[in-house]
A and B are shown apart, each in its own frame.
Chain A
Amino acid sequence: MKMSKFYLLLFLLPSLALILIFGIYPVVYNGFLSVKDVTLISYIRGTARDVGPLNYKAILDDPLFWRSLYNTIIFTLLSIVLQMVVGFLLALLFNYEFPLKGFLQALVMIPWVMPIMVSGSFFRWFLSDNGFLNNFLASLNWIQEPVRWISSERLVIYSLTAVNIWLGIPFNFILLYTGMQQIPEELYEGADIDGASGWQKVLHITLPMLRPVIIATFVLGCILTFKVFDLVWIITKGGPGGASHLLSTFSYSLAFDRFQFGKSAAVLILMQIIVVLFVGFSSRIRLEER
């Protein structure tokens, strides 16, 4: 039975409305804000002037924007690569049967279960100059001076990345692990008969069979990591001296510390362009593969 177009549209309407109201409208509205001189006062009074590309120019001239962009790229790339590698190795491990497996699997999930507010506050203390990590290293006599994990402008982004990797491992692990369970057992049995070693099985069976899952995990992970905000805001608020700003925290501080909503919107638009380019690029790779 062929349904009439009217009914098709009717059923699509709720999701279309949702996308329009919560997806498209904010982006378009943000676009309007980004070309206006919107401050707290002009926002409320509705008197913001059009300034054309001036907000974008100001942002591109601001060294903090470039620092944030650099940080965002480092943070995203390192997080994704290391989370996936560790998540994959853990998934391999848990693909075997061993005692206490269920308990240990639950332990692996802990970072994911904890609210970011809790883990973030914990790491702010853990990584501070007088925090647990430095005291621990000092008690082993490994360091004389505290390592400035989050109080050095050079080190801070790497420390935050490490925390994010820890937080993201369960996400990667669970997706890859579920993917691995879908791989037919017969393939491994056949390989065993052919005398393949463990690594050969991983390289020639697990990885190729897992490819779609790996790509999906990668794309999802990139988008989720690219927009991380809470973790950095709780631990450093983008400090010291703006050295750990990601694009997200930079945009937030422009809006709510400085009340520069126009400039903040411009940063968000630039972020959206990057995400769109990235998703377009990655789906192109997937298409080519098919």
Chain B
Amino acid sequence: MGRKSLFWILVLSLLLAMGSTVFAATSLVFQSYSNPTEQVAQFIQNVLIPELQKKNPDVEVKYVYVPFAEYMSTILQQAISNTLPDLVCLDNPWVPQLIEAGVFQNIKDNVMKDLGKDFWMDFFSGHRLLTSKGEDIYALQVHTNNLAIFYREGFLQKAGVGEPPKTWDELLDVSKKIKENLNLYGLMLYAGADEAGTWQFEPFLWSNGGSLLELDQPEAIEALELVTKMVKEGYTPRDVISLKDQGDETIWFMNGQVAMMINGNWEFGWHLLPEELQKLGDVKVAPFPVPEANMRSAVLPFGGECVGITTGDSEKAKYAWELIRIWFADKLDEYYAKWTGHIPTLASYAAKIANTRPEFKVFIEQAAYALPRPPMGGMAKYPDVSSELALALQRSLTETQTPEVAFQEAAKNIKNMFTPEEYEETKAYVRQILTEVLGRAKGQ
């Protein structure tokens, strides 16, 4: 082959390669931390994008995966250098910060026009609080999750325990029996030095009436004393402070090293897939234990991802919204029924899914008492507040400090993050939310 023909082949292939971007009317980038092989990513790539392209064949959508650990630093970098993708799917606690930073486009008009006010009001209030600011809407939460007790029924029976623990006292009691009779750890949890460590402690804190802004109060200290006691008595391995992530708990659980674990419903779409459940044979879920026997439910934080539009280009934003519209208006049933280990963020869907996926029943019931995290810790200051709590938790679990001292120190540091007025205002706001939910949880 002569040099000339080689040259033309090169030119042609270059043109072809460019063609896809030059000639396609619009190309969108959808960024998420869901690994391309995971369910949610599969849904986006195999259901949502093809559906959009059915009516808009010249719109290209590229799915870009950024690992969770690098997600926020990537978004930050993209925002500063004006290279944000067009659509972003991300963890809910980050949303208020990014709304405040002006990363998300206001989609209120689209939501009201294409989905309607009733649809918006069908979202549980926590999700609405998180994804909106004043009257404006900046993102939609696509699914949620919360924490409960996963237990191995066989182990409990062998230990002579009929029922999983409902209260804190029962948690200690059941764990003790498991340790004495089976020489196993009773309960696995996660207490890493990060947000997930805080997230797993918050149900203990909030259910007992404790607040992130009043960690030096008895309600908060009691909650820390309970978890510390679980570790000190050998009911929970001290290794909870050095797990890689919450998925590590499930490895212990599946290996039979522990009889119960605190974990979220996403595990049903991650480690505890149907075949694994069949192999183990006796995995059950019980509600998160509460401090007082008369409580209907624990008060917990909710997790889950939100989707929002991050492009300022109106043409791209149009198709980006169309993708979100398809997700929420046309494909939501299919998504919840088939494509996710998470539970619905909309009340009417939650009721439907509870019937078709019984493994989610406990989580769906608890969702009515679940709170968004950032508003409970000073919104934009939440990551800082959460870090203080995770530090104190680890210090108490490793007996570096007593629960009381650890939380007194954390409370002091948290108070210093605010101006005195800001602090009082936030404290009162958080207390008001807590009082309302606790009132409902206690059936008052």
Of B23-31, B171-179, B391-399, the one with at least 4 CB within 8 A of chain A: B391-399
B101 at interface by CB-CB < 8 Å: yes
* CB <8 Å contact, B400 and A240: yes
Determine whether B218 belongs to the interface, using a CB cutoff of 8 Å to chain A: no
Q: How far is the CB of B244 from chain A (nearest CB, A)?
A: 7
B237: A residues at CB distance < 8 A: 129-130
A284 to B201, CA, bound (A): 53
Q: Known: A128-B239, A152-B398. Is A44-B193 also a contact (CB below 8 A)?
A: no
Whether A44 contacts B384 in the complex (CB less than 8 A), given A130-B237, A241-B395, comes out as no
Residues of A within 8 A of B76 (CB): 40, 43-44
Known: A44-B101, A124-B242, A258-B384. A240 touches B80 (CB 8 A): no
Which residues of chain A come closer than 8 Å to B91, judged between CB atoms? none
Tell me whether B387 and A41 are in contact (CB under 8 A): no
- Selected from A44, A148, A237, the residue in CB contact (under 8 A) with B194 is A237
Residue from A128, A153, A238 in contact with B193 in the complex, judged by beta carbons closer than 8 Å: A238
Residue B422 lies at the interface, judged by CB distance under 8 Å to chain A = no
B103 at the binding interface (Cβ < 8 Å): yes
Residue of B nearest to A256 (CB): B73
Pick from B195, B238, B394, B400: contact of A129, CB below 8 A: B238
Residues in B with CB closer than 8 Å to A241 are: 193, 391-392, 394-395, 398, 400-401, 406
Interchain CB contact (< 8 A) of A41 among B101, B238, B392: B101
Q: Considering the chains assembled together, what is the distance between the CA atoms of A150 and B79 in angstroms?
A: 38
Q: In the complex the two chains form, what is the Cα distance from A176 to B194 in whole Å? A: 41
Q: How far is the CA of A241 from the CA of B72 in the complex (A)?
A: 23
**Known contacts A41-B101, A44-B80, A124-B244: does B73 contact A240 (CB below 8 Å)?**
no
Residue on A nearest B241 in the bound complex, by CB: A240
Contact in complex: B244, A258 (CB < 8 Å): no
Number of B residues whose C-beta is below 8 Å from A?
A: 35
What residues of chain A lie closer than 8 Å to B98, measured between beta carbons? 40
> In the complex, A173→B338 CA distance in Å?
56
User: CA separation between A258 and B194, bound complex, in Å?
Assistant: 10
Whether A151 pairs with B242 at a CB distance below 8 angstroms is yes
Pairwise interchain contact A243-B400, C-beta atoms closer than 8 A: yes
- How far is it, in angstroms, between the C-alpha of A240 and the C-alpha of B103 when the chains are bound? 34
Residue on A with the closest CB to B195?
A: A257
| Residue A76 is within 8 A (CB to CB) of chain B in the complex | no
Min CB–CB distance A189 → chain B (angstroms): 54
Interface centre among B102, B391, B406 (most CB of A within 10 A): B391
Contacts of B97 in A (CB 8 A): 40-41, 259
B400/A153 in contact, CB under 8 A: yes
Q: A40-B101, A44-B80, A121-B244 are in contact. Are A239 and B73 (CB under 8 A)?
A: no
Cβ < 8 Å to B, chain A residues 227-263: 235-243, 253, 256-260
Chain B CB within 10 Å — which of A39, A44, A129, A256 has the most?
A: A44
Known A153-B395, A240-B193, A259-B97; contact A148-B238, beta-carbon cutoff 8 A = yes
The A contact surface, by secondary structure, is: loop
The CA of A43 and the CA of B79, in the complex, are separated in Å by: 9
A257 to B383, CA, bound (A): 6
Q: Which residue of B lies closest to A61 (CB)?
A: B416
| Interchain CA distance A153-B397 in the complex, whole Å | 11
Given contacts A240-B193, A242-B193, contact A151 B101 (CB under 8 A): no
B100 interface residue per 8 A CB criterion: yes
| A43-B80, A256-B73 known; A240+B397 contact, CB < 8 A | yes
Residues of chain A contacted by B226 (CB below 8 angstroms) = none
Q: Which of B102, B387, B406 contacts A45 (CB 8 A)?
A: B102
Chain A 205-243 interface 0/1 with B at a Cβ cutoff of 8 Å (1 = within): 000000000000000000000000000000111111111
Name the contact of B387 in the complex, choosing from A129, A148, A258 (C-beta under 8 A): A258
A130 to B185 Cα, complex, angstroms: 11
Report B364 CB to chain A, min CB distance, Å: 31
Task: State how many angstroms separate the Cβ of B74 from the closest Cβ of chain A.
Answer: 11
> Which residues of chain B have C-beta atoms less than 8 A from A130's C-beta?
237, 239, 257
Verify A239–B387 contact, CB threshold 8 A: no
Residue picked from B73, B195, B384, most chain A C-beta under 10 Å: B384
Within 8 A of B (CB), among A35-86: 39-41, 43-45
Chain B nearest Cβ from A268, distance in angstroms: 15
Nearest B residue (CB) for A253: B387
Whether B395 contacts A257 by the Cβ 8 Å rule is no
In the bound complex, residues from chain B placing their C-beta under 8 Å from that of A243 are 398, 400
- Chain B residues with CB under 8 Å of A121's CB are 244
CA distance A240 to B257 in the complex (A): 23
Q: Residue-by-residue, is A180-209 near B (CB-CB < 8 Å gives 1, otherwise 0)? A: 000000000000000000000000000000
Find out whether the CB atom of B241 lies under 8 angstroms from the CB atom of A239: yes
Q: List the B side residues contacting A258 at CB < 8 Å.
A: 383-384, 387
B244 / chain A contacts, CB cutoff of 8 Å: 121, 124
Q: Which residues of B contact A152 (CB under 8 A)?
A: 398
Q: For chain B, residues 45 to 94, give those with C-beta under 8 angstroms from any C-beta of chain A.
A: 72-73, 76, 79-80
Min CB distance, A238 to chain B, in Å? 6
Q: Mark B378-396, 1 if CB is under 8 A from A, else 0.
A: 0010011001000110110
A103-121: which have CB < 8 Å to B?
121
Inter-chain contacts of B73 with A (CB < 8 A): 256
Q: How far is the CA of A24 from the CA of B192 in the complex (A)?
A: 36
Complex contacts, B398 vs chain A, CB 8 Å: 148, 151-153, 240-241, 243
Chain A residues with CB under 8 Å of chain B are 39-41, 43-45, 121, 124, 128-131, 148, 150-153, 235-243, 253, 256-260
14 contacts across the A-B interface (CB closer than 8 A): A40-B76, A40-B380, A44-B101, A44-B102, A129-B237, A130-B239, A151-B241, A236-B242, A239-B241, A241-B394, A241-B401, A241-B406, A242-B395, A253-B387
Beyond A240-B394, A241-B392, 11 additional pairs, beta carbon < 8 A = A40-B97, A40-B380, A44-B103, A45-B101, A130-B239, A151-B398, A239-B394, A240-B395, A240-B400, A241-B406, A242-B391
Closest 10 CB pairs of A and B: A241-B395, A239-B193, A44-B101, A241-B394, A240-B394, A240-B398, A153-B400, A44-B79, A41-B101, A128-B239
